[in-house]
Structure 1
Amino acid sequence: MQTIITTRSEFSLTTQLDMFNRRIWVQDYKVNDATALRCFLLDLAKKQNLEKIIFPVKEADLPLLQGEEFQLEGVINGYFQGSNAYFLTTYLSEKRCNSSSLLREKQMLEKILGQPREYKLALPKKYSLEIATSRHAKKMAELFKIVFKSYPTPVYDPKYLNEAIQKGDLYLVCCDGDTLAGVATAEIDWKQNHAELTNCATHPDYRGLGLNTILLKRLEESCLAKGINCLYSLARASSYGINLILHRLGYDSQGTLINNCHIAGDFENMNIWVKPAYDKNK
């Protein structure tokens, strides 16, 4: 991934060019001329042959930036140091903006939202939870390879995982002796004071034990203890299990990012789930 910083009188912009997922993600911005900013992003995407732009904007800027090509797909409460982010997107490919599975996934989500918010945290005695260090990187990479046919970030690479740990992301692993049974991550943005709960993977031999629920809840508690202002997760809309877990843990459904990333072999829709840290009882 390549990060580009652009500074002009009309705007300043930090963008991530994500060639694997064929998208631009706006990481930071200031705007004086909304039209100039939108045109720049569209031109950049066309030049790089990318198919989607994801642009989280502040509430005050929403009337300026929404409309024409850029439409709202979701909201993350507390994303900008406690203030809401409105996820505007646009598509440069007809195929990328259409999803044949969207209706079916929305029907499944409605069923999930009707389920009670109850969960169990019963880790079998022989298992242990550990904050991952560099010594876990190789085993985590191997587990990600087993679970995911493709993944939006290079989690198959132990070096990438080690660098993520060193910069402050929390990787929590569940071990059965020397065997890695499961892993989940809190990717922390210390500048904006939010964390994305992600990289949930359970070895096929250990499914059905509720490990994802335990890992995510413990990561949530660790983030809250560090004063993280906002917790959210982008869950595969096709996965009944992970969406049900997040609902049971008290996360709210806040939209769907269409064909957001390449995971498990194809582009998939991702549901937005949000739990602001100030609402500790949800």
Structure 2
Amino acid sequence: MDGATVTVNDDAYSDRIRCDHPVACAAEPLGRALIEAARQRHRGRVVLLARSGMRPGFEACGMTHEATMPGFYDGREDCDVFGYAIDPGRGRLAEPAAVGEVDELIANAQPTRQRATPPTERGATADAEGITALIADTFQHYPTPTGNTAYVAEQIAGGIPFRVVRDGGDVVACASADLVRSACTAELTDCATRPDQRGRGLMQALLGDLMDDLRRLR
């Protein structure tokens, strides 16, 4: 690939090869190398996030353009998301009915009402077990490393921002962010609310405070 070096994540939890934000390399050879790496490691899918100008090369090797995140790179340049399914099942929606329900909710969304919500708190390593339990219960059919208590504790200790809402000492809602420091941005993730606590605006409060945490990191 013209002597370029890129970082690739062999994500066993999600059964995929993932490459984020490659620079200074030719898109088509990189795409083919990622697909071959996924085949060799018996991963079901390739996921790639890259600057929009690289799209023709990735599509030339068979990758599918799945989404665009406007202004992802420091608010100045879009980021495209590409996918390639080694396992044909990974190229189909696992639960199309559930996706349809979400689409309907979005289409019929009502204006938000101001709600009184409990304050959110910055997650500490002592919260790792509660976060893990909530994530594992919420995402039963989607593998994620956040379902591992040691992993969550390590992420928090390393400075990855987590926000939580507690009720009676229990973590009942949480959210965090995957930092992309080279792009001066982050991906909000691990968003979960215990079913009996939903409808109270907890996630809105969490994400607002989490965004403030991220701004302070700049």
**TM above 0.5, one fold?**
yes
Q: Map Cα deviations across residues 47-73 of structure 1 (whole Å, 9 max, x no partner).
A: 111121111121222233323411210
Aligned pair in 2 of structure 1 residues 133, 24: CA closer, same or farther (>3 Å)? same
Name the TM-score, length of structure 2 as normaliser: 0.84
Alignment equivalent of 2:8, drawn from 15, 28, 31: 15
Asked if 1 retains the 8 angstrom alpha-carbon contact of 2:31 and 2:58, the reply is yes
Residue 159 of structure 2 aligns with an amino acid whose one-letter code is G
Residue 68 of structure 2 aligns with an amino acid whose one-letter code is V
The answer on 1:217 being equivalent to 2:211 is no
Asked if 1 retains the 8 angstrom alpha-carbon contact of 2:14 and 2:142, the reply is no
Structure 2 unaligned segments of length 5 or more: list them.
none
Aligned residues: 217
Alignment equivalent of 2:46, drawn from 53, 60, 64: 53
Residue 82 of structure 2 corresponds to 88
Name the TM-score, length of structure 1 as normaliser: 0.67
Q: Map Cα deviations across residues 62-110 of structure 1 (whole Å, 9 max, x no partner).
A: 2333234112100112333332111121111222212364477257425
Asked if 2 retains the 8 angstrom alpha-carbon contact of 1:23 and 1:50, the reply is yes
Q: Which has the higher strand share?
A: 1
* CA shift for structure 1 position 164: 1.0
Alignment equivalent of 2:180, drawn from 177, 180, 189: 189
Alignment equivalent of 1:203, drawn from 194, 213, 217: 194
Q: Map Cα deviations across residues 99-146 of structure 1 (whole Å, 9 max, x no partner).
A: 3644772574255135344343421xxx44211111222222233333
Asked if 2 retains the 8 angstrom alpha-carbon contact of 1:59 and 1:86, the reply is yes
Over the aligned positions, Cα root-mean-square deviation in angstroms equals: 2.6
Q: Which runs of 4+ in 1 moved over 4 A?
A: none
SS for the counterpart of 2:50 is strand
Structure 1 unaligned segments of length 5 or more: list them.
1-7, 228-282
Distance 1:110 1:202 in 2: 20
Asked if 2 retains the 8 angstrom alpha-carbon contact of 1:134 and 1:162, the reply is yes
Q: Map Cα deviations across residues 248-277 of structure 1 (whole Å, 9 max, x no partner).
A: xxxxxxxxxxxxxxxxxxxxxxxxxxxxxx
Residue 55 of structure 2 aligns with an amino acid whose one-letter code is L
Aligned pair in 2 of structure 1 residues 156, 23: CA closer, same or farther (>3 Å)? closer
Distance 1:176 1:111 in 2: 27
Distance 2:145 2:104 in 1: 32
* CA shift for structure 1 position 204: 3.6
Distance 1:68 1:39 in 2: 6
SS for the counterpart of 2:178 is strand
Q: Which has the higher helix share?
A: 2
* CA shift for structure 1 position 175: 1.5
Distance 1:110 1:63 in 2: 33
Q: Map Cα deviations across residues 15-47 of structure 1 (whole Å, 9 max, x no partner).
A: 111123221111242354444222211211111
SS for the counterpart of 1:11 is coil
Asked if 2 retains the 8 angstrom alpha-carbon contact of 1:78 and 1:194, the reply is no
Work out which structure has the larger RCO, using CA pairs closer than 8 Å and 6 or more positions apart in sequence.
1
Residue 42 of structure 1 aligns with an amino acid whose one-letter code is I
